[in-house]
Structure 1
């Protein structure tokens, strides 16, 4: 089952990331009009744009963006950059539907271009291969974020963590979720209690080919039974939204 709380995913039982290991990772401290905040992840896809989940930014007034960070509790960490983005820099998919968690994707435009460095570099969007996009099934993919590191934890992790798990065949994921997973979603196997869950929402699911990191998903939702139970984690499938992304970022490489 999906419930509202489970749209905030975290990395459970993950590995600690090294500085610069995930240079495309963004941290998002999202502020709302009622003075509440929530923590999400995102992915840098160019010198100025970040992709994340719609449910992270729906109703947001502003976002404090962290780039180049490994330890978000240490703002003096070398390589970190911080930006404040107001509503004018937030684009939520017009057809985002909370009840079915469909079109769970949004964009953030940074107030200025950012230079790449050892700790900050964009992920690559998927490319056509022989006229079609890969489904990445059974391929190892990396999910990362600062979310809670266990079901018993009550706060996000100050240090970036990650898991490397195979992409689940879509037909199998649909069986787990009783058909609630559409073709515009992609799933990750979550054995040994390793998964995304509260605090990682909107963060990257990346396939690596040599030194290239391809963004294939953004963390969307998980089961209300807990993040360590082995139920598939669900992500928005980036290849289903490449046209939408390029409509808003026409000069994207």
Structure 2
């Protein structure tokens, strides 16, 4: 009995420490100016919150048990993923989340596949880049290991300090402007963030809740949607943005990349996480499925 009590105590301690250590990867990323568009791969396991959204496979037998990849997301706790609303056009029953994955088309050590149980799209989202954010609830909690751990969320007033913060994006998107093939290995790129006024001049639209980046260091591309835009502050990485869109021709310099600014939605995310039954909370989700 004493042994069982000790094991239970240690399990609680491990879980508590893991939750407090959001944004602290066990494997440190190599922070060099790589580009997703035409770039090189990230250090395996160094972005442990990056997840892949896949169609659920028809059968659970290799090599057919790996569904088609279509978007990315960011793990924010043991059962919650943030992504772009425009990614979630199919039923959650058809979606599987791959966690701890470095190679998109093959199984990595420690990789875990978890079904989606429901989606919560931001209530004001209609289409395009405005309010392009959604929450995925996983069918079961995941265990945090060195290649699977959550990223911290920014506080409601947090903004990118232009000229001070180094901001990075990760993804398995296309690696050439006219290509039609996703990268197999996870890529990373530093992003050059624009001011709101610069963003407005290029986008000519509401940019109050959008982060824009130029393509000076590299660019995300088709297939990177829903993925995390992150920065390190006070020794912890936080989720500053979610890949939403950009030019049709990746890297086209006259049109910036667009990211949903997560800090602007922190109150909504907190409401969801505190709700006993989010899908029955009036006004919380655009689509309750």
Q: Tell which deviates more after alignment, 133-142 or 160-169.
A: 133-142
1:13 equivalent to 2:13? Answer no
Matching of residue 184 in structure 1 with residue 184 in structure 2: no
Query: How far apart, in 2, do the equivalents of 1:160 and 1:43 lie?
Result: 14
In the TM superposition, structure 1's runs of 4+ consecutive aligned residues that sit over 6 Å from their partners are none
Shift of 1:11: 3.3
- Quick check: 53-62 or 235-244, which moved more? 53-62
Q: Which has the larger radius of gyration?
A: 2
Q: Deviations over 1:195-233 (max 9, x none)?
A: 111001000000112541110000001012x11222321
- Return the alpha-carbon distance in structure 2 between the equivalents of residues 210 and 17 of structure 1: 22
RMSD of aligned Cα (Å):
2.1
What secondary structure does 1:220 align onto? Answer: strand
Q: Deviations over 1:88-116 (max 9, x none)?
A: x2111122111x43211001111111111
Match of 2:266 among 235, 242, 249: 242
Structure 1 residue 118 corresponds to structure 2 residue 118: no
- Mapped to 1, the partners of 2:209 and 2:132 lie a distance apart of 10
**3-state secondary structure, aligned to 2:264:** helix
Gap runs ≥5 in structure 2: 1-34, 57-66, 276-289
How does the TM-score come out when normalised to structure 1? 0.84
Partner Cα distance (2:178, 2:200) in 1: 28
Would the aligned equivalents of 2:52 and 2:69 in 1 still touch at CA under 8 Å? Answer: no
- Quick one: which of 129, 133, 150 aligns to 1:105? 133
Find the partner of 1:74 among 88, 106, 129: 106
Q: Residues 43 and 227 of structure 1: is their aligned pair in 2 closer, same or farther, counting only changes over 3 Å?
A: same
Label 1:13 to 1:181 Cα distance change in 2 as closer, same or farther (>3 A): farther
2:123 match:
94
2:251 aligned residue: 228
Equivalence for 1:45:
76
TM-score of the aligned structures, taking structure 2 as reference length: 0.74
Q: Which has the higher strand share?
A: 1
Q: Mark the runs of 5 or more structure 1 residues left unpaired by the alignment.
A: 1-9
The alignment covers a number of residue pairs equal to 228
Residue range with higher mean Cα deviation, 147-156 or 234-243 = 147-156
Correspondent of 1:140 among 134, 156, 166: 166
- Secondary structure of residue in 1 paired with 2:200: helix
Secondary structure of 2:52's counterpart equals strand
Q: How far off its partner does 1:135 sit? A: 3.7
Aligned to 1:7: none
**Structure 1 position 37, deviation (Å):** 6.2
